[in-house]
Amino acid sequence: MKVIAALLLATLLGGCGKGESVANQTQPKAAAKVIAPINSSIPANAADDTPPAPQPMVEPKPLVSRETSKALPTPPDYRAIGTEPFWGVTLRGSTIVLERPDKAPMRFAVRNQSDDRAIRFVGDGFTLTATEGPCSDGMSDAIWSDRVQIAFADGTLKGCGGLREDGP
C-alpha cells in the first residue's frame, strides 16, 4: 500500500514541469488523467478522455407579464355592471361570470332565450334580462345601451349593459 502511494506521489510530482526547458513550457500539455484516491470506491481507471455527451439546448422561456401579452384577450360577448351594490357580469360563449366585491366570482352555464323584446340568458339558478333603452350607471356620465336585471339565489340586481357611450 505504501509503495502504491509513493509511486502516485512520484508520478504527480514528476509532471510538475521541474527541469523542463523554456521551449517545452510554451507547448500545450495534454490533459491530465484523474486519479482517484486509494481508499475511494471509484476505480483508478474510471476516468477517460471521452468528452461528455452534448446536452440538448433548452430554449429559455420569455418573461411575459400580463401587460405585455402578445395575444389580446377575446372581448366578452356581453358586459353589464351595477352600483349600490357593485357588481359586474361578463358573458363569454355560454358562461356568465358574476363578480362582486368581497365575494368569490360565481359562474353560470346559460343558454340564450332572447326574443323580440329582450336579450335573455337563462341558466340553472340564474337569469339575465337586458332591455333596450338608455341607462345611466349612476357613477359616471356614461350612458349604456341596455337596462339589465339579473336574478339569482342571492336576489335581484339592476344595472346597465351593452354598448357604453361616454358623456361630454
Q: Can you give the residue ranges of every domain in the chain?
A: 1-14+29-49, 78-165
Q: Three cell numbers at 84?
A: 349600490
Among 97, 88, 130, 125, which residue's Cα sits nearest to residue 113? Answer: 130
pLDDT on residue 165: 87
DSSP conformation letters of 61-110: PP---GGG-SSPPPPPSEEEEETTTTEEEEEETTEEEEE-TTS--EEEEE
pLDDT of residue 141: 82
Burial of residue 70 (CB within 10 Å: 0-12, 13-18, 19+) is exposed
Q: Following CA atoms 137, 152, 103, 131 in sequence, which dihedral angle do they give, to the nearest 10 degrees? A: -20
pTM: 0.54
Condensed to tens digits (0 to 9), the pLDDT of residues 6-23 reads 544 454 455 554 444 444
For 8-15, the CB contacts below 8 A with 24+ separation are 8/35, 8/38
pLDDT at residue 107, rounded to an integer: 95
Per-residue pLDDT of the chain (168 residues; tens, 9 = 90+): 454 545 444 544 555 544 444 444 445 445 444 454 444 444 555 555 666 666 666 565 555 544 545 565 666 789 999 988 999 999 999 999 999 999 999 999 999 999 999 999 999 999 999 999 999 988 888 899 999 999 999 999 999 999 998 765
